[in-house]
Amino acid sequence: MQSILPLPTQPVKPGTSTGQQFWQSSEKTIDSYSPADGQLIARVHVSSRADYDRVVETAQAAFQQWRQVPAPRRGEIVRQMGEQFRRYKRELGTLVSYEMGKSLQEGLGEVQEIIDICDFAVGQSRQLYGLSMHSERPAHRMFEQWHSLGVVGIISAFNFPVAVWSWNAMLAWVCGDVCIWKPSEKTPLTALACQQIIGDVLRNNDVPEGVSCLVTGGRDAGEWLARDPRIALVSATGSTRMGKAVAEAVAGRLGRSLLELGGNNAIIVSEHADLDLAIPAIVFGAVGTAGQRCTTTRRLIVQESIYDDVKNRLKNAYAQLRIGSPLDESFHVGPLIDQQAVKGYQTAVNEIRELGGRFVVEPGLIDGSGFESGCYVKPCIAEAENQWPIVQKETFAPILYLLKYTSLDDAIAQQNAVPQGLSSAIFTLNMREAERFLSIAGSDCGIANVNIGTSGAEIGGAFGGEKETGGGRESGSDAWKAYMRRQTNTVNYGTTMPLAQGITFEL
C-alpha cells in the first residue's frame, strides 16, 4: 500500500508532534502488519526510558506556557486541527481501516469522530464554567473555578486507534493541559499520522514544543505513565485486566485515572419490539468492527414468545453478510486484528461447545484467496445461558449469545448480571417498558438506549460505564471536568473577620 499521508520515510521515532524534535536512543522497533492482507506496513521505533523522560520533561515545560494561553485561543487552535482532519479524512480513514482492519466506512466514521470532538471542544473552550455560591458570612463572595491540571497521559487501544485519543486530547488541550499519547503497539502508524496531521497547525500557531507528544512501546511504556507522579491524569482505554493494573499503579501515588474498559453489552428484545427496526441494529452491533468494539452487542435477551421469530430473522440476516477486505466497501465484516485475537475466538467457540451451547449460525475460520492474513473469521450466534463463564467474559470477536426471558424484570436482571456495565439497549414500543429500563431499577450501565443498538455513541453525550468498565467518562457533556482541577474561592471584601459556623476567636 502506497503512502497516503505526509509521513516520514524513515522509521518514526518517539518525541513531539511539531516535527522540531524527535528522539531515539533505542534500536528496537514495532512491526505493524495489516490484518487485511498480512503485509508489513510500518516499522516504528520503540521509546526507551530515556526517550520517555525527555518527552515528559518537555511536556512539563510546555504546560507552564500553554496553561497561560486563553482558553478560547486554545479552542481556535483545536478548530484548526479539525479542519486538518477534514482535509485528510479519506486518507486517514483508509489508513485506520488498513492498519486496524475495520471496514472503510467505520474508518471514515472514526475520523469523523475526531472532527466532531474538535467542534465540541471549540465550543467548550468558552464554557469552562464555575459556580457562584452565597456565603453565610456578610461581605463575602464565594465561588469556584477550574484550573488546568497538568500533563495528561493517554493510553489508547487498537480497536479505535485515533478517535479515543482525540476524545481525550481535544478536551485536555482546551482545558490547558498537555498530552502524552501511548498508542496501542498494534496500531502505531495511525498515531503517527495524527501527529503529522496536526503538526502544521501547532507550528503555525507557535504552540510550545511538548503540548502534543507521542511515546511508543508496549506494556512498559504504559507502566511508566501509570507510575509517574509527573503525570497528573492517566486516561486508559483497553481491557479490564489492563485497567486494573493502571488503576492500582496510579492510586498508589494518589494520582487520577480515567478508565474506559471492557463491555459485555446486551440488547433486550421485547414482544412489543419493531423487529424491522431491531434486526439491523442487532446485526451491526454484533458484527461491526468484527466484534472488536467495547460497545459490541454480545448478548441478545429475547422474550420467549418471539424467540424463534428473532432467531430465524437473524439467521437470514447473517446469511447475507459479506466478509472480506475492509478497504472494499461492498463487504460488511473485515478481519480480527491478529492471530492472538483469532485464538481467542477459537477458544471461546470451543468452550461454548463444551458447555452444551448450540450454534444457530456456525463459527469458523476463513482462508483462501483474499484471506491470506489468516485473521478472518465467521460471525456466529450461539444459544447459551447467561451464567456460563464464557458468557460472563468479554470475547473480542463476533460471537453473539442468544438468551431467553419471561418477564421484563427477568430480562433486566440477566442484563445486569455480568461484571461489566458499559452499554445496553431495549427494543420496545411499550412506553412503560422503556421507562422501566431507564429507571433506577433498570439498566446498571453507563449507556442505556431505547430502540437503538449498543454501538455508535455520539460525541455530545458522556461516554463510559460502571463496574468493571471502570467508571470513567469521556467526550461530551461535562466530561471536561476530568481534565481540570476544581478550586473553591472565598473573598472577604468587608472590614471585619467573621468566621464560618459562627465561631468566635478574639485576641
Whole-angstrom distance, CA of residue 270 vs CA of residue 428: 5
Q: How far is CA 348 from CA 190, 288, 344, 361, 386, in A?
A: 30, 19, 6, 15, 15
Task: Give CA–CA dist 332/322, Å, rounded.
Answer: 5
Instruction: Provide the 8-state DSSP code for 287.
Output: H
Length of the chain: 507
Residues 6+ apart with CB under 8 A from 146: 128, 129, 130, 175, 481, 484, 485, 486, 487
- The beta-strand segments (E) located in 248-406 are 256-260, 265-269, 297-303, 358-361, 380-383, 399-405
Per the DSSP assignment, residues forming a β-bridge with 303 are 405
DSSP assigned state of 369: T
Angle at the Cα of 337 from the Cα atoms of 284 and 158, rounded to 5 degrees: 85
Q: Which of 171, 121, 167, 175 is nearest to 146 (CA)?
A: 175
Element (H, E) at 483: none
Choosing from 113, 209, 260, 394, the catalytic residue is: 260
In the block, residue with C-alpha cell 471492557 = 262
Question: DSSP state, 419?
Answer: S
* Residue (of 263, 276, 230) closest to 160 by Cα position: 263
Question: Please, which residues have CB within 8 angstroms of residue 491's CB and are 6 or more apart in sequence?
Answer: 140, 141, 142
* 150 neighbors 176 (Cβ within 8 angstroms): no
In order, the DSSP letters of 107-172 are HHHHHHHHHHHHHHHHHHTT-----EE--SSTTEEEEEEEEE--EEEEE--SSSTTHHHHHHHHHH
- The alpha carbon of residue 137 and the mean position of all alpha carbons in its chain are separated, in whole angstroms, by 46
Nearest Cα to 260, choosing from 156, 133, 153?
Answer: 156
Cβ atoms of 225 and 155 closer than 8 Å: yes
* Residue 260 falls in the annotated catalytic set: yes
Which one, of 210, 198, 203, 72, lies nearest residue 151 by Cα? Answer: 210
Phi, psi of 146 (to 5 degrees): -120, 130
- Evaluate whether 17 touches 202 at the Cβ level (below 8 Å): yes
For residue 133, give Cα distances in angstroms to 136, 491, 506: 10, 12, 27
Instruction: Give ∠ CA 413-415-419 in degrees, rounded to 5.
Output: 100
| Active site amino acids | 260
